[in-house]
């Protein structure tokens, strides 16, 4: 309780006031209007305490050792003694600013409330947060946060504030802050920031404290990374007579650091001088790689020629030791800066060991200017993830009138789609539809030629049509890539447009594209259109479905899309489920390659269970055994028994239910007639025998639930499910 609240309660002069508040008034006379039985007891206790002090006054030494006690603390001590003697004790209360009275838990709570320690702790939190905000604001005004990419100091302040929520004492606040700052430092180090090293090393350098050669290099590099470019370069130059001496232990590291720093600053002359120091000692020529990158990035023609000359120099120095990684690195430099011709020459050097020159040739040699050679390059770039470089190569092929292979361009389209970026998706769509248009133009020309009566004549076209002619024609894979991407993005209109284009391009859709169309219409809720797509493609255009096609058909049923199906709708859905089952059995041969999937069988059985179609379940179990040699595993059997798709046995009742079901199943199995020597329990049987027993047990359960079975019911069910000839009709 704060002091202000205490005095406010005293001045209220109402009939309710706690004894702890009265005791804090010291020796002031109690007003007559407050004279109650409790206050009289308080007065007697004070008289007894004064008498005791008069009889046995403390010595000066003991008084100096004991800390001074307030009246409230003395009263609490006396009350504690009374409690031990069986005398009445006191209860403490607190009234907040709203007038609500709350009981306190004892002496400690009373002391905390009376001293206002909680309010002080809250004030401390607010003060620390205010100081943090002030410090961040000062750093931002000084431009010290911008190099770290920090623009919003409010979010950082809120993050600091969130760390204090669980702290209740100043010690906890200090510990929390220390741990939080250490975690931030660790994150910065993981991201490559070495600021914890740069500042102390810089300070040591400025303080003229001797550092070892390796420490000096670390200091220079850390300062350069931190943005102290000029100071780092100045320090590097100052160390040149010592660290850059030919006999220095860190000679190579010193000059390599100089090459990297000067290249990043764009000082090509100084970078080349530093590189020459290393090459004069016949050290690794790969030190020229940063120089090639910096020169290639400069748009000036002189610098770009310098990049090419430097590459040639490095290749000559390395000789046979120049590896594929070295070539790939240089190629990426040239492709990134739109120097495709130079990149092509580097790739040709890699493939032909520098024996073929294509830089100054208008027409590429036949062994270079073909889709197979460029296909190797495209495949390598796409595999390395350099999609921009691959696209630059494709555009270069178009400019040379070389038609790329569709398989490589499909790979580029798929890589763009997998990247997920908006720009890449736009590029993928644009290029794919260009290929589709090229295919449509090819079909139109083929029709035009086939309709001609006389012989055709070849006419040379101008170079302006070369780019259009160099677009590869779309294949079935192109359509499939777009179909899957449009389905994932729920672009049904685009799917319909793609479907129309496939007809115009005379591309026969396969099962994959059909599945994308069916699932897209199903997700939209247009089930009639999804069924029509299946009917047209499978039964009219003779597209062979695959197992995923039938999984899509089962997912399309209302019983697998809605929470509940009742009444007439359940009757209709039962009919639809039986029709889909019949269609599945009609194409049973498509499951032979990969085998019949247990998850697919699970979807079928649970669909009939939700529809409460017991005859359908019995017929389905028999058919799956006869046609696919499939029987339900034990877990699926329990799912069917418990009518759930998510078994949980984390409670005693659930485990008891499982034990009862297992006991009933064992009793059923043991009651079946057996030949001598045959296993009588599930534990003694093989997995296949156990599956057969599970199937028989489920069938007997659902037949028993049906009660008296009307004559001809099972035959009608088998006929509707398309298995009458398999299960009922005798040969």
% of the chain with per-residue pLDDT over 90: 38
| pLDDT reported for residue 604 | 96
Q: Stretch 10-23: mean pLDDT, rounded? A: 46
Output DSSP code: residue 683.
G
Q: What's the whole-model pTM score? A: 0.58
| pLDDT reported for residue 533 | 87
Count of CA atoms in the C-beta half-sphere (13 A) of 670: 8
User: pLDDT (tens digit, 9 = 90+) per residue, 679-690?
Assistant: 888 888 898 899
Same domain, 30 and 111: yes
377 neighbors 351 (Cβ within 8 angstroms): no
Encoded tokens for 531: 């069924």
Last residue of one domain, picked from the residues 115, 140, 173: 115
Same domain, 107 and 123: no
pLDDT exceeds cutoff 90 at 97:
no
| pLDDT reported for residue 46 | 46
21 neighbors 6 (Cβ within 8 angstroms): yes
User: pLDDT (tens digit, 9 = 90+) per residue, 586-610?
Assistant: 999 999 888 899 999 999 999 999 9
Rounded to an integer, what distance in angstroms lies between the CA atom of residue 49 and that of residue 87? 15
Is residue 432 one of the residues assigned to a domain?
A: no
Rounded to an integer, what distance in angstroms lies between the CA atom of residue 52 and that of residue 57? 8
Min mean pLDDT across 407-416, 605-614, 662-671 is at 662-671
Annotate 548-588 with DSSP letters as a single string: HHHHHHHHHSGGGTSS---HHHHHHHHHHHHHHHHHHHHTG
Same domain, 696 and 582: yes
User: pLDDT (tens digit, 9 = 90+) per residue, 29-49?
Assistant: 444 444 333 434 444 444 444
Is residue 532 one of the residues assigned to a domain?
A: no
Is residue 332 one of the residues assigned to a domain?
A: no
Structural domain span for residue 691? 539-727
| pLDDT reported for residue 49 | 47
Same domain, 711 and 595: yes
pLDDT exceeds cutoff 50 at 409:
yes
| pLDDT reported for residue 174 | 64
Q: What confidence tier does 155 reach under pLDDT thresholds 50, 70, 90?
A: confident
Closest Cα to residue 37, out of 29, 45, 28?
Answer: 45
Is residue 272 one of the residues assigned to a domain?
A: no
Is residue 51 one of the residues assigned to a domain?
A: yes
* CA dihedral sign, ordered 405, 408, 413, 416: negative
Rounded to an integer, what distance in angstroms lies between the CA atom of residue 472 and that of residue 480? 16
CB atoms within 10 A of CB 346: 26
Output DSSP code: residue 545.
P
| pLDDT reported for residue 237 | 92
| pLDDT reported for residue 731 | 47
Same domain, 545 and 624: yes
Is residue 656 one of the residues assigned to a domain?
A: yes
> Between 340 and 20, where is the model more confident?
340
> Between 418 and 164, where is the model more confident?
418
> Considering the chain, what is the average pLDDT of its residues?
79
Same domain, 576 and 697: yes
* CA dihedral sign, ordered 71, 74, 76, 81: negative
216 neighbors 201 (Cβ within 8 angstroms): no
455 neighbors 447 (Cβ within 8 angstroms): no
Count of CA atoms in the C-beta half-sphere (13 A) of 545: 27
599 neighbors 641 (Cβ within 8 angstroms): no
| pLDDT reported for residue 9 | 40
| pLDDT reported for residue 56 | 45
Task: Tell me the chain's radius of gyration from C-alpha atoms.
Answer: 43
Is residue 723 one of the residues assigned to a domain?
A: yes
Domains in the chain, number: 3
Same domain, 175 and 34: no
Q: Stretch 155-183: mean pLDDT, rounded? A: 68
Euclidean distance between the first and final Cα of the chain, in Å? 96
| pLDDT reported for residue 10 | 37
20 neighbors 110 (Cβ within 8 angstroms): yes
474 neighbors 406 (Cβ within 8 angstroms): yes
CB atoms within 10 A of CB 448: 10
514 neighbors 547 (Cβ within 8 angstroms): no
Same domain, 656 and 707: yes
Last residue of one domain, picked from the residues 139, 155, 190: 190
Same domain, 68 and 131: no
E strands of 157-243, at which residues?
A: none
Q: What confidence tier does 459 reach under pLDDT thresholds 50, 70, 90?
A: low
Last residue of one domain, picked from the residues 66, 99, 115: 115
% of the chain with per-residue pLDDT over 70: 72
Same domain, 26 and 167: no
User: pLDDT (tens digit, 9 = 90+) per residue, 32-91?
Assistant: 444 333 434 444 444 444 444 444 444 434 334 444 445 555 555 655 555 555 555 667
| pLDDT reported for residue 722 | 93
Min mean pLDDT across 105-109, 272-276, 596-600, 673-677 is at 105-109
Q: What confidence tier does 247 reach under pLDDT thresholds 50, 70, 90?
A: confident
Segment 387-395 long-range contacts (CB within 8 Å, at least 24 positions apart): 387/412, 387/415, 387/416, 387/419, 387/424, 388/335, 388/336, 389/331, 389/332, 389/335, 389/336, 389/343, 390/415, 391/427, 392/335, 392/338, 392/340, 392/343, 393/335, 393/340, 393/343, 393/344, 395/340
Is residue 466 one of the residues assigned to a domain?
A: no
Where would I find the H helices in 319-384? 324-336, 340-352, 371-383
Same domain, 98 and 164: no
Same domain, 678 and 710: yes
């Amino acid at each position: 309780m704060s002091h202000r609240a205490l005095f406010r309660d005293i001045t209220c002069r109402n009939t309710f006031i706690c004894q702890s508040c009265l005791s804090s008034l010291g020796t002031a006379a109690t007003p007559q209007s407050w004279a109650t039985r409790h206050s009289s007891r308080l007065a007697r206790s004070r008289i007894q305490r004064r008498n005791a002090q008069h009889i046995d006054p403390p010595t000066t030494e003991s008084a100096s050792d004991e800390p001074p006690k307030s009246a409230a603390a003395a009263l609490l001590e006396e009350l504690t003694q009374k409690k031990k003697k069986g005398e009445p004790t006191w209860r403490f209360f607190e009234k907040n600013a709203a007038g609500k009275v709350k009981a306190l838990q004892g002496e400690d709570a009373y002391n905390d409330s009376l001293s206002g320690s909680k309010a002080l702790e809250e004030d401390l939190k607010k003060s620390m947060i205010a100081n943090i905000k002030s410090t961040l604001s000062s750093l931002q005004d000084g431009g010290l946060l911008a190099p770290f990419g920090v623009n919003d100091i409010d979010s950082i302040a809120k993050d600091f504030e969130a760390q204090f929520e669980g702290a209740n004492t100043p010690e906890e606040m200090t510990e929390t802050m220390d741990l939080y700052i250490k975690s931030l430092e660790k994150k910065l180090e993981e991201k490559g920031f070495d600021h914890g090293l740069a500042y102390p090393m810089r300070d040591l350098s400025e303080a003229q404290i001797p550092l070892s050669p390796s420490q000096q290099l670390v200091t220079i590099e850390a300062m350069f990374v931190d943005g102290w470019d000029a100071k780092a370069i100045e320090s590097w130059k100052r160390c040149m007579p010592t660290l850059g001496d030919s006999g220095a232990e860190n000679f190579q590291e010193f000059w390599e650091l100089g090459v990297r720093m000067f290249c990043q600053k764009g000082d090509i002359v100084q970078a080349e001088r530093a590189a020459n120091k290393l090459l004069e000692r016949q050290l690794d020529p790969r030190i020229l790689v940063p120089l090639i990158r910096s020169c290639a990035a400069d748009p000036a023609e002189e610098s770009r020629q310098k990049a090419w000359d430097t590459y040639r120099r490095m290749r000559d120095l390395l000789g046979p030791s120049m590896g594929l990684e070295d070539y790939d690195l240089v190629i990426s430099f040239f492709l990134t800066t739109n120097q495709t011709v130079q990149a092509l020459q580097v790739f040709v050097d890699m493939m032909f060991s520098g024996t073929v020159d294509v830089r100054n040739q208008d027409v590429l040699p036949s062994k270079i200017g073909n889709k197979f050679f460029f296909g190797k390059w495209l495949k390598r770039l796409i595999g390395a993830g350099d999609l921009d470089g691959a696209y630059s190569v494709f555009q270069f092929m178009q400019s040379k009138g070389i038609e790329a292979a569709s398989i490589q361009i499909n790979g580029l389209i798929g890589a763009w789609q997998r990247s997920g970026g908006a720009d890449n998706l736009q590029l993928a769509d644009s290029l794919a539809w260009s290929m589709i248009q090229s295919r449509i133009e090819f079909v139109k020309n083929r029709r035009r030629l086939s309709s001609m009566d006389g012989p055709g004549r070849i006419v040379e076209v101008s170079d302006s049509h070369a780019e259009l002619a160099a677009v590869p024609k779309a294949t079935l894979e192109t359509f499939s890539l777009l179909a899957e991407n449009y389905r994932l993005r729920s672009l049904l209109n685009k799917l319909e447009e793609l479907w129309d284009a496939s007809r115009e391009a005379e591309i026969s859709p396969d099962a994959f594209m059909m599945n994308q169309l069916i699932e897209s219409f199903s997700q939209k809720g247009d089930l009639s259109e999804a069924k029509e797509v299946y009917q047209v493609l499978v039964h009219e255009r003779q597209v062979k479905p695959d197992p995923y096609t039938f999984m899509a058909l089962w997912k399309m049923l209302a019983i697998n899309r809605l929470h509940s199906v009742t009444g007439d709708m359940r009757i209709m859905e039962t009919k639809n489920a039986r029709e889909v089952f019949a269609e599945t059995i009609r194409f049973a041969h498509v499951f032979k390659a990969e085998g019949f999937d247990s998850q697919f069988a699970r979807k079928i059985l649970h669909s009939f269970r939700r529809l409460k179609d017991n005859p359908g379940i019995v017929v389905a179990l028999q058919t799956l055994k006869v046609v696919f040699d499939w029987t339900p595993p034990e877990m699926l059997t329990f799912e069917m028994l418990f009518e759930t798709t998510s078994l949980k046995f984390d409670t005693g009742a659930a485990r008891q239910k499982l034990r009862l079901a297992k006991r009933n199943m064992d009793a059923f199995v043991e009651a079946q007639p057996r030949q001598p020597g045959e296993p009588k329990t599930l534990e003694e049987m093989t997995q296949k025998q156990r599956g057969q027993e599970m199937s028989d047990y489920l069938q007997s359960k659902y037949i028993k639930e049906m009660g008296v079975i009307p004559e001809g019911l099972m035959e009608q069910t088998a006929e509707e499910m398309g298995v009458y000839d398999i299960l009922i009709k005798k040969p």
